[in-house]
Structure 1
């Protein structure tokens, strides 16, 4: 065997609260990689509607989550539809209501568009953390519980608090560079299984040799 089947919605027998998330995504504007899981005792299968907020088709932004990510209960992603115009005298989004109020012209709303929200691979997002629109989170990063992330997070960096701030880098620069080059999350399940002891025991030389 080479690990669990990523197409199995509930990979832990008898534990329905932990799901491989990609199996519950229906929208083209949301992409989730293999083995990324969401853990929620009450709403595990409703991530798309309960945890991805203000995600309107007319805005056009995407949420991209990589492989092997661990998402804790209540983590949320605020998308660009949460933003309001700041350059006018009112922040009220008149245009979206049409009927003479801009007739659907959302150009003014687009001034606050911050782009797609992207989560790398092997990212751990803690309970009730909130990711704001357009944030990019690097591979191997850790987002602390209840953190509010308003800025990009470098790879293998731990951030906590509101607003979230970096508290440390998980490994030295040389190791981080090598890990990003290796990108073990792109290995086949067979190769990961064969070299799993090197990944879990932080054997960088062994992983380099495996490459």
Structure 2
């Protein structure tokens, strides 16, 4: 193709409104570093969300029962260590993070918005920065028919009995018995259910 043919071809392409709009956007992006940085950040954020979504976790072999209902912006990490039962519900901004020990979630478990189920902590030895210490992982077991309220945090090594309700903003740092309503920091039994 000669140079003149290339120019004619390009001119013909530029007459296409969609291609012209795309060309203008790319030109603006090149001239405006703030737009370029914002677009790049949005692309990276979208990639992060995808690589921690339920759909991606299922592709990677995470075990999930029938009929899960997971809202957008729920993060799963450590897929191979997470096992979830039937009729699971997770509201937006919740996180389930396993490191090297299982997190087992029973049937009919509901997570309110912003719940964090964290399967590991950093070490706390005094002679080494915490960031350099290995993570200490412990199993978490959540029974059937458990409702965990908005913003609650479940720490490593706890068992939550079936039928338990955990109040919003509670910190679960020790085992909780079945069929109880628990709340507080640390979460304690308020009454039987």
Aligned equivalent of 1:121: 144
The residue aligned with 1:177 is none
Name the CA distance, whole Å, in 1 between partners of 2:79 and 2:107: 18
Structure 2 distance, partners of 1:73, 1:156, is 22
Q: Secondary structure at the match of 2:130?
A: coil
Contact 1:121 1:140 in 2 (8 A): yes
Q: Which runs of 5+ in 1 are unaligned?
A: 1-5, 11-15, 96-105, 171-211
Where does structure 1 differ by over 3 angstroms across 4 or more consecutive aligned residues? 6-10
Alignment pair present for 1:147 and 2:170 = yes
Q: SS where residue 163 of structure 1 aligns?
A: coil
TM-score (norm 2): 0.57
Structure 1 distance, partners of 2:119, 2:82, is 11
Instruction: Find the counterpart in structure 2 of residue 186 from structure 1.
Output: none
Question: Could you say which residue in structure 1 is the equivalent of 2:82?
Answer: 30
Aligned counterparts of 2:189 and 2:175: Cα–Cα separation in 1: 10
Report the secondary structure of 1:28's partner residue.
Answer: helix
Shift of 1:163: 1.5
- TM (norm. structure 1) is 0.52
- Higher helix fraction (1 or 2): 2
User: Residues 148 and 7 (structure 1 numbering): CA distance in 2 closer, same or farther, change over 3 Å?
Assistant: same
Kept in 1, the 8 Å contact 2:106–2:143? The answer is yes
The answer as to 2:157 corresponding to 1:134 is yes
RMSD (CA atoms): 2.8
Q: Which whole-Å CA distance do the structure 2 matches of 1:91 and 1:165 have between them? A: 32
Larger RCO (alpha carbons 8 Å, 6+ apart) = 1
Larger Rg: 1 or 2? 2
Q: Which has the higher strand share?
A: 2
How many equivalent residue pairs? 127
Aligned-residue offset at 1:74: 0.9
Match of 1:65 among 105, 112, 116: 105
